[in-house]
């Protein structure tokens, strides 16, 4: 049996020669994609890193994520086209190829849109409060949604759906959709209100209700907050817009109040010494401001109360605050022990009188 006759054998409606041609088309497209990817990584990426603009980095990213994929997709398409398929099967292949092509093209457009908005729109609305970062993120998300709505409408059009009829249908059911999405719309407009009023921004430490943490992201629907317990919570923007929010990043320092009870057997001199010790510790501490207060304030049921207040610098760093308070509290304990000043704990003294 000659090799020529072997190539003419037919399987599933195609000869072996046809299958080899299809495989060759796919392999060629794959080789072209691999070579292009290597050239980009070895040559153009090094050049792009040396330039000040990020436009060339974005273009190279689009080529690697979109163009190279489209080259391979084209290889698959033309390889399949060289084969014989039933008409109804080929229709599905063409539609699937078109859908994938649209998705990849809009992925590239989205990457380019993100770069243009973050670079050029961000410059136009730039200010010192980081307002541009939040607004740029919001504009980017709205643009992405708009782009993918267009892409989705093109995909629906491929499958024969009438976009005009769909829009008309949305008009008829608009009231129902509005009622169903009123919470989402409320959160969206609340996010715009938060960004416009600027009560806080990404990176600020806020406290509201029983929560306290660092703002990680202000989205279209929710704001993500990382608590000091290490958990991430998502709070609807409408909830934050209505809540009383304390922006702790706006303050210059973080307050700490302390109370120490001395035993009732302490002499006035020991009370004065205790106050002086605390004042001296606070005076030499570099991590706090110098507007501290220390006073003998009350006669409690089982102790003589001394209260003190000081303000820790760097209010947004909770670990810094804890380290500072830890250092101060340990110093007070050590100095009191050396001075023989005794701290009180809940006790009761019973006097028993015998009957004569």
> How much of the chain is in helix, strand and coil states, percent to nearest 5?
60, 15, 25
Q: Are residues 67 and 51 in the same domain?
A: yes
Is the whole-model pTM more than 0.75? no
pLDDT at 128: 47
pLDDT at residue 252 in the model: 81
230 and 154 share one domain = no
Taking each helix axis from N to C end, the angle separating 268-284 and 318-339, rounded to the nearest 10 degrees, works out to 140
Residues 48 and 162 in one domain: yes
**Secondary element (H or E) of residue 350:** none
Return d(Cα 79, Cα 23) in angstroms, integer. Answer: 7
Would you say residue 349 lies in a domain? no
DSSP single-letter state for residue 210: T
293 and 319: one domain? yes
315 φ, ψ (degrees, to nearest 5)? -70, -20
**pLDDT confidence of residue 22:** 83
> By three-state DSSP, how is residue 126 classified?
coil
Query: Do 111 and 235 sit in the same domain of this protein?
Result: no
Q: What's the number of domains the chain is made of?
A: 3
**In CATH, what number is assigned to the domain containing residue 220?**
2.30.30.60
Say what the pLDDT of residue 281 is. Answer: 95
Q: Are residues 51 and 96 in the same domain?
A: yes
Query: Cβ distance 198 to 241 under 8 Å?
Result: no
Q: Are 157 and 16 within one domain?
A: yes
For residue 188, is it within any domain?
A: no
Q: Is residue 170 part of a domain?
A: yes
Between the alpha carbon of residue 342 and those of residues 32, 95, 332, the distances in Å are: 83, 85, 12
| In a domain? residue 204 | yes
DSSP 294-345: EEEEEE-SSSEEEEEEEEES-TT-HHHHHHHHHHHHHHHHHHHHHHTPPBP-
Q: Is the dihedral of CA 200, 202, 204, 205 positive or negative?
A: positive
Q: How far is CA 59 from the centre of its chain?
A: 25
- How far apart are alpha carbons 85 and 89 in whole angstroms? 6
Residue 181 belongs to a domain: no
Range of the domain at 256: 252-339
- CATH number of 306's domain: 3.30.70.100
Give yes or no: residues 33 and 122 share one domain: yes
Q: Are residues 222 and 322 in the same domain?
A: no
Examine the fold and report which residue of 133, 158, 174 is the final residue of a domain before the chain moves on. 174
302 within some domain:
yes
Structural domain contains residue 321: yes
**Measured distance CA(154)–CA(141) in Å, rounded:** 20
Residue 108 and residue 27 in one domain: yes
pLDDT at 267: 93
DSSP run (H or E) holding 199: none
Cα dihedral value 94, 75, 60, 218, nearest 10? 30
pLDDT tens, per residue, the chain with 356 residues: 445 565 566 666 667 777 788 888 889 989 998 888 888 777 776 676 667 777 777 887 888 888 888 888 888 888 888 877 777 778 888 888 889 889 999 888 888 888 887 777 666 665 545 555 666 777 788 888 888 888 888 888 888 776 666 555 555 555 455 544 556 656 666 666 766 667 778 888 888 888 888 888 887 778 889 988 888 988 888 888 788 888 887 778 888 999 999 999 999 999 999 999 999 999 999 999 989 999 999 999 889 999 999 999 887 787 898 999 999 999 999 999 999 999 988 776 677 777 65
Burial of 36 (0-12, 13-18, 19+ CB in 10 A): middle
In terms of domains, do 218 and 163 share one?
no
Backbone angles phi, psi at 323, to 5 degrees: -65, -40
Please say which residue of 139, 174, 209 terminates a domain: 174
**Taking Cα atoms as reference points, which of 74, 79, 93 lies closest to residue 36?**
74
Residue 353 lies in a domain: no
Residues 109 and 27 in one domain: yes
């Amino acid at each position: 049996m000659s090799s020529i006759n072997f190539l003419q054998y037919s399987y599933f409606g195609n000869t072996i020669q046809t299958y080899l041609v299809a495989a060759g088309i796919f392999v060629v497209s794959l080789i072209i994609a691999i070579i292009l990817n290597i050239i980009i990584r070895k040559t153009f990426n090094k050049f792009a890193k040396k330039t000040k603009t990020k436009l060339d980095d974005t273009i190279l990213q689009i080529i690697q994520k979109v163009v190279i994929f489209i080259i391979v997709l084209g290889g698959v398409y033309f390889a399949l086209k060289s084969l014989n398929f039933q008409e109804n099967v080929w229709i599905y292949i063409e539609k699937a190829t078109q859908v994938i092509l649209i998705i990849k093209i809009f992925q590239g457009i989205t990457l380019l849109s993100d770069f243009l908005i973050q670079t050029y729109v961000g410059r136009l609305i730039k200010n010192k409060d980081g307002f541009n970062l939040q607004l740029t993120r919001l504009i980017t998300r709205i643009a992405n949604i708009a782009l993918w709505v267009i892409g989705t409408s093109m995909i629906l059009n491929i499958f024969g759906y009438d976009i005009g009829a769909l829009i008309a249908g949305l008009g008829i059911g608009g009231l129902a959709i509005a009622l169903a999405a009123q919470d989402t719309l409320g959160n969206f407009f609340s996010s715009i209100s938060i960004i416009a009023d600027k009560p806080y921004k990404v990176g600020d430490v806020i406290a509201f209700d029983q929560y306290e943490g660092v703002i990680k992201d202000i989205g279209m629907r929710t704001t993500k907050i990382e608590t000091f317990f290490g958990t991430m919570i998502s709070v609807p923007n409408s909830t934050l817009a209505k809540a009383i929010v304390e922006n702790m990043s706006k303050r210059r320092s973080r307050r700490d109040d302390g109370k120490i009870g001395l035993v009732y057997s302490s002499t006035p001199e020991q009370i004065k010494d205790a106050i002086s010790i605390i004042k001296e510790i606070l005076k030499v501490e570099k991590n706090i401001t110098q507007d501290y207060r220390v006073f003998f304030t009350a006669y409690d049921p089982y102790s003589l109360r001394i209260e003190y207040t000081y303000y820790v610098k760097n209010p947004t760093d909770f670990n810094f605050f804890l380290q500072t308070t830890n250092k101060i509290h340990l110093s007070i304990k050590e100095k009191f022990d050396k001075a023989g000043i005794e701290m009180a704990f809940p006790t009761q003294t019973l006097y028993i009188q015998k009957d004569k």
